[in-house]
Amino acid sequence: MDNPSSAFTFDASQDMTSMHPNTPSDLPTEIISDQPEKIKLIWGTTINISETIEAFKEILDKHYQSRIRTMISLDQNSLFIDDLYDLNQMCVNYPSEIIPILRKGLNEYILEKEPSFRQTEIEIGIDAPAISLRKLCPSRIDKVVRIKGIVMRVSTVIPELIKGCYVCSSCGKSVVIEKIKNVIQEPGACDCGSFFSYSLSYERSEYLDKQVVKIQEMESEQEPMCFNVVSYVIDRVMPGDRVEICGILKAAPILNPFTKKVKNVFRGYVEMLSVKKENEEGSAIDEDLHKENVEQENSAGKKNTGTRGYFVNSGGAEPITPDRRYERMAEMIAPSVYGHHDVKKGILLMMVGGVRKNHFNCTLRGSINILLAGDPGVAKSQLLTFVNQHTKGIYTSGQGSSAVGLSASVTRDVETGQFVLESGALVLSDHGVCIIDEFDKMNNHSRGVLHEAMEQQSISIAKAGIITSLNCRCSILASCNPVNSVWDTKKSIIENVNLPATLLSRFDLIFILLDRNDKEQDERTARFIIDVYNERSAYDKNVLMECIAQSKAIIPVISREAEKEIEDRYVELRSLNNGNTITATTRQLEAIIRLSEAHARVRLSEVVEKEDVAEAVRLIKESMLMYAIDPLTGKLDIDLVMAGRSAGQRKMLEELKKRIQNVLKKRKRCKMAELATETGESERSVKEAVDELCDEEMVVLEEDVVQIIE
């Protein structure tokens, strides 16, 4: 951010005179006439600053007028330059010197067009090889580097002094000092004879806004490394963004404020030139390319139907037609996994998501939560890994996750000494998908964080004097294994996975994946896996990502017919089993709405139709038939998930409580083992009944002895 007129320049006219020992009057006439009055060059080069600025203005005038007009009309503070044409190699060779010159030229050009417009930053995309954070060594200092990582923290806006106005306290004279090599030298003496009488006038000085971004490397097999990036474009990235940053590697000495000595240890940082990030949809497709495609389709008078994509399989490339778009996109979900078609469709709708709404200060989430449960070895982790590779978000394991790791931790900043928040997995997954494997291994304290996050989509923090609420507007995709490693169909889902009902009820879809013994199915699975290993099946990742990006750009509205269909289907779900058990709640109603909106988005329809509602209800029914069947009666009972017990289990528990009371009325005191023998039930069932009687203050439990209260 140094000023080009003072930091790296010398007067070429003076240098030219020094080359001739003669006086100017003795020089030939042609030399005097051709000699420029004052030429400023970059030190150590023959690059003329004025000519470079004029050449850059010509590039702006020829190639970037429309972008500049858009920037001014939208009141933006930065301009992205993706090609410098003739100046590109110059920028690669001397980035620290050329960038300030281009920044000055841009602001001069904009002031000529719009005198009232504020100072503008420039983002330049330089073609440089990508390197990992571990390879940022001293040999790359002052060179262009391209690094990838995930944003962990973004600081507040920091004012950086670029021109200091110093005023003499004796005579009132003001002096403007520009920053040179990141240092502003305070004047020592004044012309009036006073020494050290200058003081900085803050209101008359010029500042530049900057932020310090902390990024962490992705997909590291070792402990991930972090690096600081200085950005002069405010709020360009947010915590959780996966970014590719192009910048200049810098080194600054670690200064002691109480001495002028400089330590021989330097700290490195990257001065950001440009950033490319995965957009909110998690797509790796460039947003400008997508907009260009849409504009081309609109200019041709065609509606955006998504027919540009191609589905690639062993038979070749097939176009994705609108009527087959949903099926084709579902087939592209985890193509290395055989079967599980409804699971893949549910995951597709989760990746697209519903529409988030805010009515009367009440936020209604649009994200869809899915739980995959079942036997080991049925590709649950493969499905999770695929989603992690195709969406923005964090992949974590329940066994290695703490409540702080999921929400946010409070740490002390090394430079400022203040307490700062370090975002956890849920916060970093904002506008993405938080993937939790081994969900059943998570302890109760860690699960408590998820209750607020899954419904309100926020996390409340009150630590070290920091009281705030962080957004975690993300979907949650989790997987878990049964308690005894094998799914017991005679037990309910609560008994199989050992998860609280309050947490299970927050999932829109719960799929049970079982490893069944079926010879024909096993043969098809074996053939499919062999084909995968022989690379006989393939798909284009970019096609899926572009299709998802197109779908998420649609904001569908529910039609009157769809509203009536949702109402009828919800009443139909509620009336299953003739009203003897509760088969659906309002959470299933909200899930129908979210899934219907997601299905309409996949079809690129701006209106939710009856077919969208029908598919949403079908998926919910298929899911409920897997997890909400009472093993005692064989009937559908959503209370298994909502309350933790089915109607049949509640009835049996009430009968057991009466039998225990009858036994205690006769014997007054009784051990738990004796009660189990008297009632003919297991000690676990007796313990559950006794606990409820204790809550109702009917009996007292002391160690292993139960006593009735008279």
pLDDT at site 555: 93
- Residues making up the chain, counted from first to last: 710
Question: Domain limits of the chain?
Answer: 9-122, 133-277, 647-708
Strand partners, 267: 252
Q: Is the dihedral of CA 369, 371, 377, 378 positive or negative?
A: negative
Under 8 Å CB-to-CB from 200, ≥6 apart: which residues? Answer: 164, 165, 166, 186
CA atoms within 13 A on the CB side of 582: 16
Pair of tokens at residue 699: 């009996």
Contact 166, 177 (CB under 8 A): yes
pLDDT at site 615: 94
Give the distance from CA 336 to its chain's centroid. Answer: 25
Contact 509, 368 (CB under 8 A): yes
pLDDT at site 111: 86
pLDDT at site 367: 92
Contact 351, 282 (CB under 8 A): yes
Pair of tokens at residue 274: 């440009």
Find the helix packing angle between 672-679 and 647-667, rounded to 10°: 110
pLDDT at site 20: 37
**Cα angle vertex 63, ends 60, 68, to 5°?**
60
Question: How far apart are the C-alpha atoms of 3 and 97, rounded to whole Å?
Answer: 9
Query: Phi and psi for 163 in degrees, rounded to 5?
Result: -140, 115
What is the CATH T-level fold of the domain 9-122, as seen in this structure? mini-chromosome maintenance (MCM) complex, chain A, domain 1 (3.30.1640)
The fourth-level CATH superfamily of domain 133-277 is Nucleic acid-binding proteins (2.40.50.140)
pLDDT at site 257: 56
pLDDT averaged per 10 residues, the chain (length 710): 44 41 34 50 79 89 88 83 84 84 87 79 80 86 88 86 90 87 83 88 88 83 83 84 88 68 78 77 40 43 41 48 84 87 94 87 87 89 89 84 84 72 86 90 84 86 81 91 85 83 89 84 82 67 85 92 92 74 81 95 93 94 82 69 66 82 82 82 81 82 79
CA atoms within 13 A on the CB side of 387: 34
Strand partners, 174: 167
Under 8 Å CB-to-CB from 566, ≥6 apart: which residues? Answer: 558, 589, 592, 593, 596, 613
Q: Is the dihedral of CA 188, 191, 194, 200 positive or negative?
A: negative
Question: How far apart are the C-alpha atoms of 286 and 276, rounded to whole Å?
Answer: 8
Pair of tokens at residue 23: 């006086």
What CATH number does the domain located at 647-708 have? 1.10.10.10
The pairing of strands 705-708 and 699-702 is antiparallel
- CB atoms near residue 308 (< 10 Å): 16
